Chains A and B, each alone.
Chain A
Amino acid sequence: MGAITLQNVRKSFGDVEVIPGVDLEINEGEFVVFVGPSGCGKSTLLRLIAGLEDVTSGRILIDGQDVTDAGPAKRGLAMVFQSYALYPHMSVRKNIAFPLKMAKMPEAEQKARVDRAAKILNLDSYLDRRPGQLSGGQRQRVAIGRAIVREPAAFLFDEPLSNLDAALRVNMRVEISDLHNKLKTTMIYVTHDQVEAMTMADKIVVLRAGRIEQVGSPLDLYNSPANRFVGGFIGSPNMNFIEGEAARRMGAHSIGVRPEHWRMSTTEGAFPGTVGVAEHLGSDTLLHVELDSGENVIARAEGEFPVHHGDKIWLTPQDGRVYKFREDGLAA
């Protein structure tokens, strides 16, 4: 249960084409992350899969069955919304039990399932509260609880962590990954945060302007980005791009070097430059360097690297860690 196939799915709102055509294969049990900048159509794609929007053309299959024209309830998917979308007039217990009640499940079974979900999500002591009396993280868990009691074919998450503070976000990230390991159900997770994508995904789908730029495992995308956009989007801090003479010498329109792939030296190297801001984080050091050729790049050294504002520095890309891109942006 839970293999999803999109065949040439297109979506327009009036004259505006938001998804110009997407083909995608999601395998059973996979954790798939849709990632891309804000407004690129991630939510729209997710809502198409959920059945909350009608496709303009194309087909959507779940476990081989064409559900393109099926309503959201018929698709057997559960969704966790960015706003949580809890029912404010119901207690946590009733919120979680709501889909079961709608399915006319016997009371005893409902209770058993709600209790099980509450245990998994550490919600036992909040079951009688209203959503308004819970913190953001707890509401998030209730929303997830409401999704898991249904035992859906797949979970859909739309930026579920974006309303949480940074520390909680890290926790919930781990919890959701844990949940996936436990349930082994297909999950589709939408985020604009590449860190979430890298840490959680089995398979990342990078979207730009409604088009799929690349599909692959996190390390695939990291090690061999298909184009300059993916290269720049995946990895933190972002990849540095150098154009012009230096790139031409390597036979490319532009080259990309990740901050962690520079060798640094205070005496010699390929690219001389001047240290701007030096961020000493202890575990590593981030250097903002202005190259003599004019580009601003970021370099990252493990541990400490004793340079300061205004110091002269030479950067050299590590062997085999230079990404070459053609003029049209594709990897060369």
Chain B
Amino acid sequence: MATRQTQSLAKIMRAPAIILLLIWMIVPLGMTLYYSFLNYNLLNPTQTSWAGWFNYQYFYTDPAFWDSIWNTLILVLGVLCITVVGGILIALLIDKPIFGQGIVRILVISPFFVMPPVAALIWKNMIMHPSYGVFADVAQFLGMAPVDWFAQYPLFSIILIVAWQWLPFATLILLTALQSLDGEQMEAAEMDGASALSRFIYLTLPHMSRAITVVILIQTIFLLSIYAEILVTTNGGPGNASTNLTYLIYRAARLNFDIGGAAAGGIIAVVLANIVAIFLMRAVGKNLD
């Protein structure tokens, strides 16, 4: 797109897609914004009235609000840490030529194809259940008391489940990055006297930085809106211990039928997502240049 002519042509060609996307985004956002200023309850849907900032005030003063913000951030960060570190380690492992490589790779990737509620239910009833879960069996075998994961460590349990689901994605992206690493560079470093650890720190990690950034950014988008896993396991409890912002909004809308309040929560979630996005782009965005 070197010349001015091709540039304006390109703009025209791009326009329909961009306009469609814009409408797709603007309409729901606008409606949410509009509802967030209304008194609008599904128990009494005909009686709507202008609410001003009341919905925001109401949502903000909800005792669960700050808990949910923290839970959201911890959930995102926890899953990111586990998937990035775990993804790098698994990618390093399955990058080596091993027996049955193809099968191993498919196995590693398969959790990604399990739907979130199904995965969460399997974890809840077959793995982490205090009486017939695998973890309980292991604990008993080791002579320890079984842990009631969802009661004792609700947020951590959810982080574990979500991380399990996203690990394949991270592994896959990081593995492709790893495979594009130049072998001669590694050999040069080996001759330069770099240990395996130094080679990892000085060559492999910088080489993967772009892929790591992509993993972080894409996952953050989805992790901010985790919902199904919470719904089928802890229902946000005990108390608010595993309620994130998305789940709080769900509670407002579907349990209290408060559309106005939920919409206000939605707008707050958008703001939070943008703050996180700005923060992330500052921190890792330069890797994408």
Give the interface of A toward B (CB within 8 A): 50-52, 71-73, 77-79, 81-83, 85-90, 98-99, 102-103, 146, 150
Contacts and interface: CB of A to CB of B under 8 A. Distances in A.
Given A98-B202, A102-B198, A85 B187 contact: yes
A276 to B, nearest CB: 44
Interface stretch (B30-38, B120-128, B189-197, B222-230): B189-197
A146 B198 CA distance: 17
Contacts of B187: 52, 72, 79, 81, 85
B206 A83 contact: no
Nearest to B194: A102
Nearest to B203: A87
Interface in B249-282: none
B191 A79 contact: yes
B289 interface: no
B4 to A, nearest CB: 28
Contacts of A82: 184
A179 to B, nearest CB: 18
B184 A85 contact: yes
- Secondary structure class of chain A's binding surface, majority of residues: loop
Given A81-B184, A83-B184, A98-B202, A89 B207 contact: yes
Contacts of B188: 79, 81, 85-87, 146
A86 B184 CA distance: 9
B185 interface: yes
A218 to B, nearest CB: 29
A82 B187 CA distance: 12
Contacts of A103: 193
Contacts of A83: 182, 184
A85 B187 CA distance: 8
A8 to B, nearest CB: 25
Interface string B82-103: 0000000000000000000000
- Secondary structure class of chain B's binding surface, majority of residues: helix
A87 B189 contact: yes
Chain B: number of interface residues, binned into ranges: 10 to 19
A52 B183 CA distance: 11
B237 to A, nearest CB: 47
A105 to B, nearest CB: 11
A102 B192 contact: yes
A82 B182 CA distance: 13
Nearest to A75: B191
10 smallest A-B Cβ distances: which pairs?
A89-B206, A99-B192, A85-B188, A85-B184, A73-B193, A102-B193, A72-B191, A102-B194, A81-B184, A85-B185
Contacts of A71: 190
A98 B190 CA distance: 11
A79 B189 CA distance: 10
A79 B193 CA distance: 12
B212 to A, nearest CB: 13
Contacts of A81: 184, 187-188
B207 A98 contact: no
A86 B206 CA distance: 13
Nearest to A51: B191
Nearest to B183: A85
A90 B189 CA distance: 13
Contacts of A90: 202
Interface in B152-188: 182, 184-185, 187-188
A99 B185 contact: no
A103 B202 CA distance: 14
Given A87-B202, A87-B203, A98-B202, A73 B184 contact: no
6 contacts: A81-B188, A83-B182, A89-B209, A98-B192, A103-B193, A146-B188
Contact of A73 (B182, B192, B202, B209): B192
B191 A52 contact: yes
A86 B203 CA distance: 10
B36 to A, nearest CB: 46
